[in-house]
Amino acid sequence: MSALRESALAAAGVRGIFTNLIDGKSVGARNTLDVLDPATGELLAKVPDIERDGMDAAFAAARRAFSSWSKLTWEARRSNLEKAFENVKAHREELVTLLMGRGAPEKPALWEVAAVLDDFAPGVLAQGLPDVETTQPGRWPGHPALCAPRRRRGHQSVESPVLLSYDKVVPALIAGNTVVLKPSFYTPLTVLRVAELVRDILPAGILNVVTGGDNVGPWMTSHPKPTRSRSRAPLRPAGGFSSPPPRR
């Protein structure tokens, strides 16, 4: 690895153990997963391999936060989210470096970060919605939403982890939902870094980000707390980006 690339990765905080975001706090786990550099096979970082009790804590935090977050006006929620993303914008170069560290070329990495920070998030937050209560038969209010990627085998393509995570998170939050998000365990670093950057700005519990292996997706989609889930099947990146998680 070149000294320049190593320096850039170190400046972006890659060389260490990343944490999950649960109830406004940085949380680890008893076990970790290795995130590998697809170009060299070297270890980039470690991320938590969350256990079931950690997942339960994330859903409990989202449920508690829902009652107050959902009662805020659209403008109040927008103000919170705009402040959070202003802080993320100040760390734009770090996010680009993290995307490049997991194998993305520079131009696609620049495009992805710009798409989220300059186009999608501001566009969603600029919209308005009348504060009118409506109900729909068959829906149960007061539960968090979740985003739980599923792994599709047999594909060798690089996904866009920041865009494909936060293009669901931002609309959910501005609409008054709370979220439990699980990024792909192949490309979790940028998603975790964004969560870290908004941690001290957003109210605790409205956004919870967890990482883990094959068990986590089924835990989320079968969890009794949420009523709506948003799952997608990420394509496995060429070369892989983390060691296969232990089967339990």
Lowest mean pLDDT among 57-61, 143-147, 230-234: 230-234
Q: Is the pLDDT of residue 240 over 60?
A: no
With tokens 């729909």, the residue in question is 136
Which residue, among 98, 37, 5, has the nearest Cα to 240 in the 3D structure? 37
| Dist CA 148 CA 142 (whole Å) | 19
Q: Do residues 98 and 233 lie in contact, with contact meaning Cβ atoms separated by under 8 Å?
A: no
Closest C-alpha to 225, from 180, 190, 164: 180
Q: 106-157, pLDDT tens digit by residue?
A: 888 899 999 999 999 999 999 886 656 555 554 444 445 555 444 433 332 3
Residue 73 confidence (pLDDT) above 70:
yes
What pLDDT does 154 receive? 31
Q: Which of 40, 31, 57, 42 is nearest to 213 (CA)?
A: 31
Is residue 52 very low, low, confident or very high in pLDDT (cuts 50, 70, 90)? very high
Per the listing, tokens 């998030």 go with: 121
Higher pLDDT, 185 or 172: 172
| Residues of the chain above pLDDT 70, percent | 71
**Positive or negative torsion for Cα 99, 103, 109, 113:** negative
Q: What percent of the chain has pLDDT over 90?
A: 48
Lowest average pLDDT, out of 116-125, 170-179, 199-208, 232-241, goes to: 232-241
Compare 160 and 243 and report the one with higher pLDDT: 160
Residue bearing tokens 């070369």: 239
Give the count of alpha carbons within 13 A of 157, CB side only.
Answer: 10
pLDDT over threshold 60, residue 160: yes
CB 209 within 8 A of CB 20: yes
One-letter identity of residue 227: T
Tell me the domains of the chain and their CATH numbers.
22-127+141-230 (3.40.605.10)
pLDDT-derived band at 232, boundaries 50, 70, 90: very low
Residue 8: pLDDT above 80? no
